[in-house]
Amino acid sequence: MREIGNEIVIATSNAGKVKEFAPLFQEKGIAVKSLRDFDDLPEIIEDGETFAANALIKARTIALHLRLPVIADDSGLTVDRLGGEPGVYSARYAGAHATDEQNNRKLLDRLKQLPAVGQSEAGGPEILSPARFVCAICLVNADGEPVAEVEDYCEGAILPQGRGEYGFGYDPLFYLPAYGKTMAELSIEQKNKVSHRGHAIRRLWEALQ
């Protein structure tokens, strides 16, 4: 693919994200690197007000430093009964250096102060709120110029306690009624088919083609 060449940098140090992104590029014959493969990288200040703005900030910052094509995503959870929280603050909902466990605990504490909304379907688990995962992806060339920008989402609901051992972030709390499972109970292959990030990457390929 001319705009990318045969190597691309994923602007993340998150091993979970790399595992999700890498197969989708490798099957196109494109070698994947992450921020863990480089030293002395510039600080990325994610001060955008939208997922799309933050994705562009990340991609452009790294591309201009490495002079390589870079893809970056900004993903997060929006919860209906919390007015869209945590949104762009998903990774730092409980503080600047919060762990996944701390973010999940804060989310549940906030939701459990509200009346429950009932079961997701007949015989299904209790849910605390409808929610969706959102993913904005930006691909820039080695000069930091946008090649493609896309956004997509995955609808679901928040459970009162986590389930599953896969995934990361809010995955254990994010329930998919159509599967009867949380995102953390899906394999990487299943998750790539239904997740917000998987949807967004497929839209990216469509935009490039």
What residue spans define the domains of the chain? 7-208
CATH architecture of 7-208: Alpha-Beta Complex (3.90)
47, two tokens: 């001060």
- How far is the C-alpha of 174 from the C-alpha of 120, rounded, in Å? 12
Residue pLDDT tens, the chain, 209 long: 546 678 899 999 888 778 877 877 787 788 889 999 999 999 998 899 999 999 999 999 999 999 999 999 999 999 999 999 999 999 999 998 899 999 999 999 999 898 766 555 666 788 999 999 999 999 999 999 999 999 999 999 999 999 999 888 999 999 999 899 999 999 888 888 888 988 898 898 888 77
Catalytic residue among 40, 74, 143, 152: 74
Binding-site positions for substrate read 12-17, 75, 168-171, 191, 196-197
Binding-site positions read 12-17, 74-75, 168-171, 191, 196-197
- How far is the C-alpha of 30 from the C-alpha of 11, rounded, in Å? 15
- Count of other CB atoms within 10 angstroms of residue 96: 6
Total-model pTM: 0.84
- How far is the C-alpha of 200 from the C-alpha of 150, rounded, in Å? 6
Binding-site positions for Mg(2+) read 74
> Among this protein's residues, is 37 annotated catalytic?
no
